[in-house]
Amino acid sequence: MKTFHNEAEPGQIAKTVLMPGDPLRAKYIAETYLNDVVCYNHVRGMYGYTGTYHGKPVSVQGSGMGIPSMGIYAYELFNHYGAENLIRIGTAGAIHTNVAVGDIVFAMGCCTNSDFAAQYHLPGTFAPMADYSLLENGVHIARKSGVRFHVGSVFSSDVFYEDQTGEKAVWSKMGVLIQEMETLSLYCTAARAGKRALSILTAGSSIHTNTALTNEQREQSLDLMIRCALELAEGEYGHDGV
C-alpha cells in the first residue's frame, strides 16, 4: 500500500530494513553492497532500495533527521509494508569520555527529552529498549570483527543546537554514551507494533575534543558499521525474504 511518503508496491520491501538518516547513504549502501537492486522510493528524495546481500533480501531506507521523521518511516515500514526488523545505522556525537571518535555504539536503551511516547497514554514513563536478539547478534558480529564498540544507553534528543551550553554533558553522569536524534521513535514504534529494532551508531564527533571524522575517516568508519548491520541482516533476521 503506497503512503504519502513511500511509493513502494506491496512485496517490494524486505523483512529486514537498514535505515541510515541520509538518503544518499542509502543510495551508497545499495550501490556498493547489494546485488539486483531496485529503487522502490524517491518521494521527497528519501530513497529506498531493495536488493540482496549474499543472496538474502535486504532493504535500505533513508529515515531523514529527527524523531518525528524516523517515526513516520518506521511506522509505515512496520504497519504498511510488513517489515519485521529495522536497523538504524547512523552517526552521533559522543558525550561520554569512554567513547572515542570513530567508535561504534549499540543502543541498548534510550533516554530522551522528547514527548513522542505521550501519544500512547501510558500511566507512567516508557523505557525504550532494543530488541535483545538483534542486539546480542550485532554485538557478536562486532566482537568477531575486532572493531572498537560500546553497548549502553543513548540520548535521543529533539534538539541539535542546544540553547544552554553543556546540557548534553550532564547525561554522561548517568552513563549515557552518545547523543543522536532518531532512536526514541524507532524503539517506541517497534514496541507498539510488536516488531524488532536496533540502533547501531558511529561516533562522528565528541563534546570532549575538537576532532571529528574527516570525510575519508567517516567513509571507512561508517563502512564498518554498515558491514556489521548487513551481516546481521544476512543472518537469522534476513531469512524470511521479501
CA distances from 175 to 102, 152, 235 (A): 19, 8, 31
Instruction: State how beta strands 196-206 and 104-112 pair.
Output: antiparallel
Any domain includes 141: yes
Any domain includes 5: no
In DSSP terms, 104 is beta-bridged to 149, 202
Any domain includes 103: yes
pLDDT in tens, 4-13: 899 999 999 9
Which residue type occupies 44? Answer: R
Any domain includes 4: no
Which residue type occupies 208? Answer: H
> Do the beta carbons of residue 83 and residue 17 sit within 8 Å?
yes
Query: What is the phi/psi pair of residue 234, to 5°?
Result: -70, -25
The verdict on pTM exceeding 0.85 is yes
For residue 48, the enclosing domain spans: 16-238
CA 53/CA 32 separation, integer angstroms: 11
In the block, cell 548517568 appears at 174
Largest CA distance in the chain: 49
Q: What is the pLDDT of residue 11?
A: 94
Q: What is the pLDDT of residue 241?
A: 41
CA 58/CA 221 separation, integer angstroms: 21
CATH number for position 227: 3.40.50.1580
Q: What is the pLDDT of residue 236?
A: 53
CA-based nearest residue to 98, from 214, 242, 203, 232: 203
Any domain includes 206: yes
CA atoms within 13 A on the CB side of 148: 9
Q: What is the pLDDT of residue 220?
A: 64
CA distances from 223 to 127, 181, 185, 230 (A): 30, 21, 24, 10
Q: What is the pLDDT of residue 238?
A: 39
Q: What is the pLDDT of residue 134?
A: 98
Which residue type occupies 42? Answer: H
Residues of the chain predicted below pLDDT 50: 237-242
Any domain includes 199: yes
Any domain includes 10: no
Give, in degrees to the nearest 5, the angle at Cα 187 between 12 and 162. Answer: 115
> Do the beta carbons of residue 99 and residue 209 sit within 8 Å?
no
- Domain tally for the chain? 1
Q: What is the pLDDT of residue 240?
A: 43
Q: What is the pLDDT of residue 98?
A: 96
Any domain includes 2: no
